[in-house]
Homo-oligomer: A and B are copies of this chain.
């Protein structure tokens, strides 16, 4: 008999007052030491309770032989003991009335031995009877950045900036990858959750929880295979208050087999998945980098009212590269209104391209002209989004700093996606300030900026099929 997970309350799991680490250690060869460091170095403000029958104290914090020995209430238990000890740990956690668990331990449904799957089923029924939601098993854990709760074996996750993107992932490797990519890219997260084998918390439960989570505005999913795709699609369908975007691997024959070995589920037919995700309003991203770029853009940018894009560029070549992507992905190069075109023409000499894409290069030495061009395009009703491209040269060093105050003040009434590229140390501070103020998203190539704009426009069109402008 299978017990339903619907009634599980994930709030205490992600917002605990007290956290036990079952299998805590000081030995860096043990995951229990990394989990302890994650909690301590991450600045968790609640009680940390190391559990290890062989230690009196771990990292300067009093340790307990068992959770049942700890006299106060315990909200969350993070488990890093070997798989064979998991059933007795589950009994103790149930006795202790913990309200959530993160089961990092591996060796269940993903192993070759079928006993792993049976063991996982037994734990699942125990957890559901006790009403305890469990992240894992076979996971790196999770992090709730807004609570400084790093419940993972990777202390470095705490370096990520706090923001609005939640990542729910079936792979620890992809979670780590995206976190490391996010650091230099200025992508800010609310939560990163490694679902692992999904004992009783699957994508559907996470989606329900995150839709109501005030810290989360964009939900990014990394999928391999699902036991019950219908539940995720049902959870997503019709819920368009927050964007849900997904990257899914397993399109390859070999990858599909790998999925089975990885988290115990076949990846299934890729094309069918893709269609079903689309029908449920989940936007498909074609790679880990595309998922991250789109999550960033959705968390920062205003929604475009249509597919008409203006490309304002300091150099013609990058403008052409962006233009190819925009038209190749079915968007339109905006036609400027007469007043806009006249304003732009007045700012530029005849040797520039003055229609879209606009080559602003000849105005490098005149920051008023560049600001005037951006303003004219931004205020044109026929422009739904702006791609801003500036490749640094010594002669245009001040172009971005001079434009920044306008962009900060204008604050994305329409989406602005940029590729402003310079050697390290030149424009970094300006770009950080612009991105941290949500004035724009800056990506490393013109093509990626254009792809992100195309994804943003196509996402917006998907959720507003009648053509109405979304808020």
The chain B residue sitting closest to A390, CB to CB, is: B173
Q: Min CB distance, A180 to chain B, in Å? A: 5
Copies in the complex: 2
Residues of B within 8 A of A424 (CB): 183-184
Q: Which of A111, A116, A353 has the most CB of B within 10 A?
A: A353
Residues of B within 8 A of A356 (CB): 254
- From A47-55, A198-206, A440-448, give the one contacting chain B: A440-448
* Known A251-B324, A315-B172, A324-B250; contact A351-B107, beta-carbon cutoff 8 A: yes
Whether the pair A176, B315 counts as a contact (CB closer than 8 A) is yes
The answer to whether A411 has its CB under 8 Å from any CB of chain B is: no
Residues of B within 8 A of A359 (CB): 261-262
Give bound CA distance, A258 to B184, whole Å. Answer: 33
* Known A183-B423, A317-B169; contact A447-B258, beta-carbon cutoff 8 A: no
Give bound CA distance, A389 to B173, whole Å. Answer: 9
Quick one: which of A139-197 are within 8 Å of B by CB?
140, 153-156, 159, 169-174, 176-177, 180-181, 183-184
Whether the pair A258, B353 counts as a contact (CB closer than 8 A) is yes
Q: Which of A110, A251, A324, A446 has the most CB of B within 10 A?
A: A324
Q: Min CB distance, A38 to chain B, in Å? A: 8
Whether the pair B289, A445 counts as a contact (CB closer than 8 A) is yes
Give bound CA distance, A448 to B445, whole Å. Answer: 14
Whether the pair A423, B159 counts as a contact (CB closer than 8 A) is yes
Whether the pair B327, A394 counts as a contact (CB closer than 8 A) is no
Q: What are 19 A-B contacts with C-beta separation under 8 Å?
A: A29-B365, A111-B350, A156-B394, A169-B317, A170-B317, A174-B315, A180-B422, A183-B424, A224-B320, A249-B324, A250-B320, A250-B324, A252-B328, A255-B323, A261-B316, A262-B359, A288-B445, A288-B447, A289-B445
Contacts from A to B (Cβ < 8 Å): 28-29, 31, 34, 37, 106-107, 110-113, 116, 140, 153-156, 159, 169-174, 176-177, 180-181, 183-184, 222, 224, 249-255, 258-259, 261-263, 267, 287-289, 313-321, 323-324, 326-328, 333, 350-351, 353, 356-357, 359, 365, 389, 391-395, 419, 421-424, 426, 444-448
